[in-house]
Amino acid sequence: MEDLFVRFEDWEARLRRTCGHYYGVPGHGQEIVDGHVGLSRFHGLDMADIACDLDHIDRSAAGIRRDESEYIFLIMQLSGRSLIDHMGRREIVEAGEFYLLDSTKVARILYADTRSHFLSVHMPRGAFLLECDGRLRLGRALKRGHPMSAPMQAFLGGGKARGTPRKTYADPGYLFDLTRIAFTPGQTEMDASRLSSRDNRFELAVSVMERNLARPDLSLSWLARVIGISERQLQRDFLGRGTSFIQLLREKRLALAAEFLVHFGNAAQPMNVTDVALRSGFNDISNFNRSFKGRYGCSPSSYARLHA
């Protein structure tokens, strides 16, 4: 993609159409952006090609509420650098490095008016997290010296293939697996300090739930046992957020099913409705069909056709 000098308002509008409600903040008096926002397909997923010389980009709580879809953005820095303030940490991402950014968390990406160029692969959050464990390092950079850096660079083509035609319906499964391996350390334990408050307990419980949606034995008692608190305390934490274990589990499973239908329902070897139901944690197909129609206003097969 050619670099262009574009009006800030036009650049930001393209960013929002491509990535959701992220807000560019120009430097003092800046009206023109040295950069671009492009979009292509990569293994069945959207991939944004972004360059700018802004002061920073903000992801606010208001922006999060305005976006219906949730993503884990796999960022690959091509040139320049990004200083990312996200999930309680600040990380400098240099050229040739990778970063995982969670669209459901606030973030600030700082450039200090210096040109930065990166790719962002939009991985559906529920589908990507489903087979991850609590060790996945969201909000962390994968440095160039890491053993998985070379395989990641090779798979994404070192950024050299951007702008070339992509296979729209290729399976993203390998990218998911490669990214999970790269961002999961070999030896670590769950951080018990996260259980010190109701908010942290709830965050941890939801995180574990999202990674185990397809488990047939996923229950309140199982979840409480895994994170090390009583069922009663865990239920109180859910109620404190205006929901319940059953209600949130159903919402998460339906959202995961919708992701499968959009991203895998029209692939070269599409998932059928029964496969989608089972992989989303629904063992009763009739119940799945009723619940899905109640949530999305149409049958799963119709939903897949609408998003083909």
Q: What is the mean pLDDT of residues 14-28?
A: 96
- pTM (2 d.p.): 0.72
The answer to whether the beta carbons of residues 91 and 140 sit under 8 Å apart is yes
Q: Is residue 187 part of a domain?
A: no
Question: Helices marked H in the chain — which ranges?
Answer: 8-19, 61-66, 125-129, 149-155, 173-182, 198-210, 220-227, 231-240, 245-264, 273-279, 285-296, 300-306
- Dump pLDDT digits (tens) for 147-197: 788 888 888 875 554 444 344 446 788 788 888 888 987 633 344 334 556
Rounded CA Rg of the chain: 20
Among 182, 206, 229, the domain boundary falls at 182
* Residues 267, 237 within the same domain: no
Paired strand residues for 49: 38, 119
129 and 253 both lie in a single domain: no
Answer yes or no: is 52 within a domain: yes
- Can you tell me the distance from the alpha carbon of 249 to that of 254, in angstroms, rounded to the nearest whole number? 9
* Residue 17, domain extent: 4-182
Residue 202's pLDDT is 85
Please indicate, yes or no, whether residues 267 and 140 belong to a single structural domain of this protein.
no
Same domain, 208 and 154: no
- Asked if 119 and 207 sit in the same domain, the reply is no
Same domain, 143 and 36: yes
Residue 174 sits in the same domain as residue 223: no
Task: Provide the domain count of the chain.
Answer: 3
Residue 290 resides in a domain: yes
Q: Is the domain of 268 the same as that of 287?
A: yes
The single residue listed with the structure tokens 């309140």 is 220
pLDDT in tens, 68-108: 999 999 999 999 999 999 999 999 999 999 999 999 999 99
Residues 6 or more apart whose CB falls under 8 angstroms from that of 289 comprise: 273, 299, 300
Q: Give the long-range contacts of residues 267-276, CB within 8 A, separation 24 or more.
A: 267/44, 267/169, 267/170, 267/171, 268/169, 270/304, 273/300, 273/301, 276/300
Residue 75 sits in the same domain as residue 152: yes
CATH number at residue 74: 2.60.120.10
